[in-house]
Amino acid sequence: MVSRFMQPMRIAIQWCYLVFIVYLGFRFYQFVTGLRAGGVPLLDERPNGVEGFLPIAALLGIRDWFATGSINPLHPASVVILLSALIVSLLLRRSFCSWICPVGTVEELLWKRGFSLFKRNIRVPQWLDSILRSPKYLLLAFFIYFIFIKMPIEQVQGFIASDYNKIADARLLDFFMNLSALPLIFILLLLLFSFPIRNPFCRFLCPYGALLGLFALFSPAKVTRDNNACVACGVCSQLCPVYIPVMAKTRVHSPECIGCWRCISHCRAEGALSMKLPGRKIAIPGIIFALLVLVIFCGGTVVGKMSGNWKSAIPIEDYVRLLK
Ligand code: SF4
Ligand code: SF4
């Protein structure tokens, strides 16, 4: 029997990460504004880890890593964070999306509020859902093609070393602090649509999630249904935030599964649903799954720090020159 504490535990972990990310963002804001105001901040004051918001820098860093055998020191944390998320996905489905990602946390909060308000979420027809899911894969294909095929390695390395890339984190901060009309309208619409529709950004637009989903296809852990124990109540299919028809499957292979355990946590028949390894004999206990997500993701950061691939090597003089 899956502990009824599984969902509260997942949500608590999500919110801890969200609070941590907001704190990290605020520290970075203080660093940048302090520097622009003419202060002389120490490079140590720059919170490393904000690179988690630079997925394109991470892809460029991985391409460079393949070519040189070492991680470029300008934004190494971006590579470490992406690699950690990919390893989590490879082993434990897209659980990064439902246990860690702050965007997923906010979207989940909004669609649950929408459900409380309207007593239902809008479910688009299957054919439209399939079409709407394609932009994230197209965006991912574009980035992969451009970064790994089209750009010569010299160009990749030139971009990584460029002034533009050096302060890409500060540029992103400026972008969000001074939103122009079009992005502001886009974000507001996305937030608005997140009330009636479950996870619109994650399901339809996020190329990061699309990449994790492709890695998750190879994950040994998969939601598995026991036909003999199942009482065909349909709760699992109704509660799935990405509308996987769990009741019609014996094993969920979909790249859309975000490993949230909602279906398993709310299953009405004991032993009917579990997260199982290939062979369908060994079920992963919820607490072990949760611990593995945390240990693997946080372990990536620890390995990055211990191997000297965490702290950015951008000199403080460059920050002073470029930000002023
Ligand atoms: S199949 Fe289950 S674990 Fe996967 S996304 Fe749906 S509810 Fe979550
Ligand atoms: S919630 Fe459990 S019992 Fe109900 S349909 Fe899904 S697997 Fe079967």
Please write the tens of the pLDDT for every residue from 285-307.
Answer: 999 999 999 999 999 999 999 99
Nearest CA to ligand 2 atom 2: 267
Q: How far apart are CA 264 and CA 3, in angstroms?
A: 10
Using CA atoms, how far residue 233 sits from 82, 146, 236, 243, 249, in Å, is 38, 46, 8, 15, 14
Q: What percent of the chain has pLDDT over 90?
A: 86
Using CA atoms, how far residue 184 sits from 39, 178, 303, in Å, is 31, 9, 37
Nearest CA to ligand 1 atom 4: 257
The answer, yes or no, to whether residue 1 has pLDDT greater than 60, is no
In the structure, what pLDDT confidence band is assigned to residue 39 with cuts at 50, 70 and 90? low
Can you give the pLDDT at residue 309? 94
**Ligand 2 atom closest to residue 263's alpha carbon, by position in its atom list:** 1
Nearest CA to ligand 1 atom 6: 240
* pLDDT tens digits for range 135-158: 999 999 999 999 999 999 999 999
Least trusted range by pLDDT, from 31-35, 44-48, 270-274: 44-48
Average pLDDT of every residue of the chain = 94
In the structure, what pLDDT confidence band is assigned to residue 37 with cuts at 50, 70 and 90? confident
Q: Which of 262, 267, 274, 289 to mutate to test the pocket of ligand 1 (most atoms within 8 A of CB)?
A: 262
Structure tokens, 125: 């027809």
Cβ of 269 less than 6 Å from ligand 2: yes
**Lining residues, ligand 1, CB within 6 Å:** 223, 240-242, 244, 246, 252, 257-263
**Ligand 2 atom closest to residue 231's alpha carbon, by position in its atom list:** 3
Tell me how far the alpha carbon of residue 92 lies from the centroid of ligand 2, in angstroms: 21
**Ligand 2 atom closest to residue 226's alpha carbon, by position in its atom list:** 7
In the structure, what pLDDT confidence band is assigned to residue 213 with cuts at 50, 70 and 90? very high
Least trusted range by pLDDT, from 48-52, 226-230, 244-248: 48-52
Q: How many CB atoms lie within 10 A of CB 203?
A: 22
Can you give the pLDDT at residue 317? 84
Residue positions counted in the chain: 324
CB 170 within 8 A of CB 88: no
Which ligand gives the minimal distance to the CA of 271? 2
Give the mean model confidence (pLDDT) for residues 212-236. 97
Q: How far apart are CA 25 and CA 174, in angstroms?
A: 12
Tell me how far the alpha carbon of residue 255 lies from the centroid of ligand 1, in angstroms: 11
Can you give the pLDDT at residue 43? 56
* pLDDT tens digits for range 77-92: 999 999 999 999 999 9
CA dihedral in degrees (11, 14, 15, 18; nearest 10)? Answer: -160
| Better-predicted residue by pLDDT, 179 or 317 | 179
CB 300 within 8 A of CB 81: yes
Q: Which of 230, 238, 239, 250 to mutate to test the pocket of ligand 2 (most atoms within 8 A of CB)?
A: 230
Which ligand gives the minimal distance to the CA of 248? 2
Cβ of 272 less than 6 Å from ligand 2: yes
Give the mean model confidence (pLDDT) for residues 68-75. 93
In the structure, what pLDDT confidence band is assigned to residue 253 with cuts at 50, 70 and 90? very high
Q: How far apart are CA 50 and CA 27, in angstroms?
A: 10
